[in-house]
Every structure is written in C-alpha cells, then in structure tokens.
A and B are shown apart, each in its own frame.
Chain A
Amino acid sequence: MDTVKAKNGINWLKYASPKTFYPLAGRLIPWFSAGAFLLIAYGLYLGLLVAPTDFQQGEGYRIIFVHVPAAWFSMFLYLLMAGYAVLGLVLNAKLSYMMAKAIAPTGAMFTLAALVTGSFWGKPMWGAWWVWDARLTSELILLFLYIGYFSLQSAIDDTNRADKASAILAIVGAINVPIIYFSVKWWNTLHQGASVSLTKAPAMAAIMLQGMLVMALGFWLYSVAVIFARVRCEILERDNKAALLRQEI
C-alpha cells in the first residue's frame, strides 16, 4: 500500500490503513446512525400510514416495506463482502479483510430478516409459512453461505489464514450465487410445486416504491454505521501494541 501512496499521493488511500481509518470511522458513525434513524422512521411512516391499502392483499402487504429492502441488502452485502475479499487478496490490505468480516453478520441478519418477514407475509397470502419458491429457496441458501463464512472464519485461530481462507470462500460463494439462483428456478419449474409466483407483482403505486427506496437508503446507512463500529472493534482487537486502545482510554 505504501508504494501506491508514495507514487500517486492519492489522499484517500491514507484511510486504507487501520490506524487512520479508526478515528475517521469513529467520527462518521454518529452521522450514519442519525441518518439511518431518520430515514427508517420516514420510510416506516410512508409505508405504514401514507401508502394506500392494497385492494387485493389488504393491510398485510405492508410488510414488504421491510421485506424487500432486507432482501436487497442480503444479496448486495454478500457481493460487497466478496468485493472486499477480492480487494484483500489482491492488495493484501488488512482493512479489506476486516471490512469483509464485519459485513458478514449484517448481511446474515438481513437475510434472516428477509426470510422471517417473508414467511409472515406468506402465511396470510399463500396460507403457508414456507413455500419452496425459487426466491425463498435461494435466499435460504444465501443464509447457508453466510453461515459457512462465519464457521470457517471462527474455526481458524490464525488471523492471517482466517482472513484469506474466508476471502476465498466468499468469492467462490459469490460466483455460485447466480448459478444457485438459476438452478433453483429451473428446479421450481420442473417440480411444479405451489403455483405461486412472486415475480408477477402487480404494478406498484409510486408511493409504495418511494417508501421502499427510503427504507433501503435507511438500511444502507444503518449497515454502514454498524459495519464501521464492528471494524473499529476488529482494529482494536488486532492492534497488538494496543496503541489505539491506550488512546481510547
């Protein structure tokens, strides 16, 4: 990293070092948290109070204001994690590994949230808590991929090896995500299980889309705040001379 910095003198690469990133993240967390709180509150207001009742699904549909953004972020955060894994392996940057590690719990949380809210939605709409729909199934498999990442990360005591090995797993998983999605979709059409489809959603009112986008933005700020907080803990844990820790105290 040092040579790159010396050659180009790009300022922002400074923050690729854990030591300089630590205070920056600390300063940014309150802003992101406040933004997340406001946006999620506004999104919930739009979703729960402003958006009209769906004439087919009644009030029950309002769960999509949490469900859809959560599902977006479950996938987006996995790709982001794999992106940081690539960055870590290519540049051998410690902070990238820490970012990847910090993203995983939030991504898994959104995956679980999407699954749980999905089944809450499915019970009144489909009359079943769980349907082997292509999207539900691939979301479940995504959760398994996150679990695999955690398990590998925590099974290796050596930090360096844990970082690199789980980075490879994240990348292999990311390559597999589209393959899994299409295989599950194909499997679903072959087996002709429940003939419900989430894909043929009715045209959405503009206000609903707006609510979902506001929620998604709120989730994004929340993710950044939580991930930064987790990276700061990780930096402190790995700081073997405890220099940052002494500053903190």
Chain B
Amino acid sequence: MASIQQGSRLSTFAVLYRILARDILVAMRRQSDVAAVFFFFVIAASLFPLGSGADPKLLSSMAPSVLWVTALLSCMLSLSRLFASDFSDGTLEQMLISSQPLILVVLAKTFAHWILSGLPLVIIAPFIGLQFNLASESLQVLALSLFIGTLALSLIGSVGAALTLGLRGAGVLIAILVLPLYIPVLVFGAGAVTATTIGMSPQGALSLLGAILALSLVFAPLAASIALKIALE
C-alpha cells in the first residue's frame, strides 16, 4: 500500500496484484493457519471410510459427495479469517478509505483466500480420491470441478465473511449463512464427478459450475464490498 501516499492511481491489475501478494505474504508468515485447513480436509475425508467400512464399491460411489462436502467445509472453515485479521488491526479501514475501489480489494483478497485454501485442496483431492477407489478419469474431473468450484466457494463465502465481520460467534454464524448458498456448487461439483463414475458426460455439470462461477464473480465482490462498508460504518 506504499503507493497511496503519492496519491497516484494504480492500474486495476497493479491493485489486484499488490493486495494479492501482500495477503499471501502475510499468510506465509503464519503458515500453520494455512496448513490447518489443508490437514482438516485430509483428516476429515479419511474418517469416512473408517465410519462406513472399506467396501471399494461403496467407497467409490460415496467419494464424490464425501470429497466435495469435505472440501466445502474446509473452505468455509477459513472464511472467517478472510477479513478478520485486517479488520482487527485497522488495515481494512485503511483499504476502505484508500483511493482504490473496494470491490478490487475484495476481489484480490478473495482470490488470495482461494490460493491459500482452495488450490491446495484441488491438488491433494485426487490423491485422496485414489484412497476412495476412484478411476483416473473421475480423478481428473474431480480436480477440474474442485478448481472451478472452490473459486466460486471463496467468492460466495466472501459475502458471508463480510456480513459477519466482527460479530460474536461469527464462526458458526458464517456456516449458517453460507452453507445453503453453497448447495448449487455442491450439486454440480459432486454431480460432475458422479456422472463420470457412472459413465456419463460431466460436461453439463461442469458448464453449469462455470456459469455459477461467472455469476458469483460478478455479484459476490459487489455484495461483499457493500457488506464491508456496512460493517465498517
């Protein structure tokens, strides 16, 4: 944020890039937070076979829903951190009164959140899928659907994070607000993988997932930035 003191107007991409780089740098200074979400995903997904028995057929039919629901919960767990630490030390207020549009700030922070909590899941999920006896074709669709889907999850989640900013019990509240809104992403994400496992084309579900991503890319940062302004009023 050094350039603000000169009052110079940065290009859109420069704003996005600087906030993104800053958020990732800050997160890297506290790596255990990032790792915790990742390990939550791995551990929670591994619990399901222990609860249901190790029948390979059952596991492979369960895998899309189990992996997707677990991914959804892991994304949600880290949401409350999206704005909270910047809110508590006053950085967020400075961003709000800076000359850059708040919507860009939100977009960059959301994207940083995705890189830190969504992308690791996309990378590790195929390996967990192997444990669930998924075929290689399904594993590819799983990774692709998570790639598109977790981006949408981060975007939709940013609205919930902004609405609950600084509230008591924000962690549980965010789950109640955001989980119903996550349902379409879950349906199409897990649906794409299920379709592949039963030999149908996942294309329809993936396209709809992409449509949800496009919609949330337009509306979620807008709604989240309005919510942030309300929270910081």
B51 contacts chain A at the CB level, 8 A cutoff = no
Q: Which residue of chain B has its CB nearest to the CB of A164?
A: B230
Beyond A141-B183, A183-B188, A190-B195, whether A151 also contacts B177 by CB under 8 A is yes
Q: Which residue of chain B has its CB nearest to the CB of A142?
A: B180
Is there contact, CB below 8 Å, between B230 and A161?
Answer: yes
A25 contacts chain B at the CB level, 8 A cutoff = no
A176 contacts chain B at the CB level, 8 A cutoff = yes
Beyond A161-B230, A186-B191, A190-B191, whether A152 also contacts B163 by CB under 8 A is yes
Q: Nearest-CB distance from A150 to chain B (Å)?
A: 9
Complexed CA–CA distance, A179 and B163 (Å): 21
**B159 CB contacts on chain A under 8 angstroms:** 168, 172
**A79 CB contacts on chain B under 8 angstroms:** none
Complexed CA–CA distance, A184 and B208 (Å): 13
Is there contact, CB below 8 Å, between A183 and B187?
Answer: yes
Beyond A173-B181, A183-B183, whether A151 also contacts B227 by CB under 8 A is no
Is there contact, CB below 8 Å, between A148 and B191?
Answer: no
**B55 CB contacts on chain A under 8 angstroms:** none
Complexed CA–CA distance, A219 and B201 (Å): 45
Interface of B is mostly: helix
**B95 CB contacts on chain A under 8 angstroms:** none
Q: Chain B 206-233 against A: per-residue CB contact (8 Å), 1 yes, 0 no?
A: 0010001001000100010011001101
Tell which of A144, A160, A164, A187 touches B187, judged by Cβ atoms closer than 8 Å.
A187
Is there contact, CB below 8 Å, between B230 and A172?
Answer: no
Chain B interface residue number, banded? 20 to 34
Q: Nearest-CB distance from B4 to chain A (Å)?
A: 27
Q: Chain A 143-175 against B: per-residue CB contact (8 Å), 1 yes, 0 no?
A: 011011001100110001100110011011101
Tell which of B176, B183, B226 touches A184, judged by Cβ atoms closer than 8 Å.
B183
**A190 CB contacts on chain B under 8 angstroms:** 191, 194-195
Is there contact, CB below 8 Å, between B167 and A156?
Answer: yes
Is there contact, CB below 8 Å, between A168 and B176?
Answer: no
Beyond A168-B227, A187-B187, whether A152 also contacts B233 by CB under 8 A is no
Beyond A144-B179, A165-B230, A169-B177, whether A175 also contacts B219 by CB under 8 A is yes
Tell which of B168, B170, B173, B183 touches A180, judged by Cβ atoms closer than 8 Å.
B183
Complexed CA–CA distance, A137 and B215 (Å): 23
**A147 CB contacts on chain B under 8 angstroms:** 176
**A180 CB contacts on chain B under 8 angstroms:** 180, 183-184
**B223 CB contacts on chain A under 8 angstroms:** 168, 171-172
Q: Nearest-CB distance from A64 to chain B (Å)?
A: 26
B7 contacts chain A at the CB level, 8 A cutoff = no
Q: Nearest-CB distance from A198 to chain B (Å)?
A: 19
Is there contact, CB below 8 Å, between B176 and A148?
Answer: yes
The B161-181 residues at the A interface (CB cut-off 8 A) are 163-164, 167-170, 173, 176-177, 179-181
The B43-95 residues at the A interface (CB cut-off 8 A) are none
Is there contact, CB below 8 Å, between A176 and B181?
Answer: yes
Q: Which residue of chain B has its CB nearest to the CB of A154?
A: B173
Tell which of A148, A169, A183 touches B184, judged by Cβ atoms closer than 8 Å.
A183
Is there contact, CB below 8 Å, between A155 and B231?
Answer: no
Beyond A165-B231, A168-B227, A190-B195, whether A152 also contacts B187 by CB under 8 A is no
Top 3 A-B pairs, shortest CB-CB distance: A183-B184, A144-B180, A183-B187
> What are 6 of the A-B contact pairs (CB < 8 Å)?
A141-B183, A145-B180, A148-B177, A151-B173, A164-B230, A179-B212
Besides A168-B223, A186-B208, A190-B194, 14 more A-B contacts (Cβ < 8 Å) are A145-B180, A147-B176, A152-B163, A155-B167, A155-B173, A160-B233, A165-B230, A168-B159, A168-B226, A168-B227, A173-B181, A175-B219, A179-B215, A190-B191
